[in-house]
């Protein structure tokens, strides 16, 4: 969990008990964290590993890419959480990525990951990095060679999984030292939630509004999630629909 510990669905359950419909509970808002965050509270809720992952690659225990990193950190987090083994992911990058994307966030993993006691494997060769991260050296080297060639010759569509550029251009992994970061998916709240109309009135499964009952913010559903994993942001939803609810109540 990446939230404060209070977002455990109480509001959602209360609304459902009152007859509310819910929508889109299959996707969630969250970020990639160091896998050590499961035990080390100093690595929660930051630093996020998203920027490094979207610039580089995410591999499983076979040393193979397992998802489209170009869709962004929230998409990677959802895809990782949906795997049979959600703790199989490791981000692989090189020195230029670590020195740029690794420092890009407000609370960046470089240097906060090591400062907080997180795992950061480092080596001067891909094979040595694989050994340190308990990954198959030949498989990881082959994965990176294929990926680098696809980036160099603009053949991203030939990769499996395909690599998109929605969250920025991918970077080649070729300059030592090389780095490996074991990661985990963390959830803040679901993208789905209570079904509401344009005034924030809570709707029943038949689409009718429940008189006098409103909802706004992260507890609501319908604006985010979906196949393309649309993301508006809980604070934006709270501001907009908080105002919409207040205006409707006052009217």
How confident is the prediction along the chain (251 residues), in pLDDT tens digits per residue?
888 888 788 889 999 999 999 999 999 999 999 999 999 999 999 999 999 999 999 999 999 999 999 999 999 999 999 999 999 999 999 999 999 999 998 899 999 999 999 999 999 999 999 999 999 999 999 999 999 999 999 999 999 999 999 998 999 999 999 999 999 999 998 899 999 999 999 999 999 999 999 999 888 999 899 887 888 877 888 999 999 999 999 99
Classify burial at 235, counting beta carbons within 10 Å of its beta carbon; exposed 0-12, middle 13-18, buried 19 or more.
exposed
Is the Cβ–Cβ distance between 36 and 182 less than 8 Å? Answer: yes
Topology (CATH level 3) of domain 28-187: Flavocytochrome C3; Chain A, domain 1 (3.90.700)
List every span in the chain annotated with CATH 3.90.700.10.
Answer: 28-187
What are the residues whose beta carbons fall under 8 Å from the beta carbon of 101, sequence distance 6 or more? Answer: 51, 52, 54, 55, 56, 93, 171
Q: What b-and-e string marks burial along 95-128, b requiring 16 or more CB atoms within 10 Å of the CB?
A: bebbeebbeebeebbbebbeebebbbbbbeebbb
Report the predicted TM-score, pTM, of the whole model to 2 decimal places.
0.92
Cβ-based neighbour number of residue 215 at 10 Å:
24
User: How many angstroms separate the CA atoms of 57 and 66, rounded?
Assistant: 9
The H or E element containing residue 143 is helix 137-152
Is the Cβ–Cβ distance between 183 and 49 less than 8 Å? Answer: yes
């Amino acid at each position: 969990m990446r939230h404060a510990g209070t977002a455990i669905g109480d509001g959602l359950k209360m609304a459902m008990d009152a007859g509310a419909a819910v929508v889109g509970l299959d996707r969630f808002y969250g970020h990639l964290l160091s896998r050590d965050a499961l035990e080390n509270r100093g690595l929660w809720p930051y630093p996020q590993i998203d920027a490094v992952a979207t610039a580089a690659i995410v591999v499983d225990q076979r040393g193979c890419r397992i998802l489209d990193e170009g869709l962004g950190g929230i998409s990677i987090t959802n895809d990782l959480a949906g795997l049979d083994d959600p703790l199989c992911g490791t981000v692989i990058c090189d020195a230029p990525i670590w020195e740029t994307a690794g420092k890009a966030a407000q609370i960046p993993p470089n240097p906060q990951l090591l400062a907080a006691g997180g795992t950061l494997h480092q080596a001067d060769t891909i094979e040595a990095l694989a050994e340190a991260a308990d990954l198959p050296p030949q498989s990881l080297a082959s994965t990176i060679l294929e990926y680098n060639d696809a980036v160099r010759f603009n053949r991203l569509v030939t990769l499996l999984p395909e690599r998109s550029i929605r969250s920025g251009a991918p970077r080649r992994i070729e300059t030592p030292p090389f780095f490996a970061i074991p990661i985990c998916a963390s959830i803040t709240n679901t993208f789905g939630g209570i079904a509401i109309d344009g005034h924030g009135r809570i709707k029943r499964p038949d689409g009718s509004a429940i008189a006098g009952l409103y909802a706004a913010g992260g507890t609501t559903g319908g604006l985010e999630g979906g196949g393309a994993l649309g993301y508006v942001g809980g604070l934006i939803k709270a501001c907009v629909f908080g105002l919409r609810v207040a205006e409707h109540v006052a009217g």
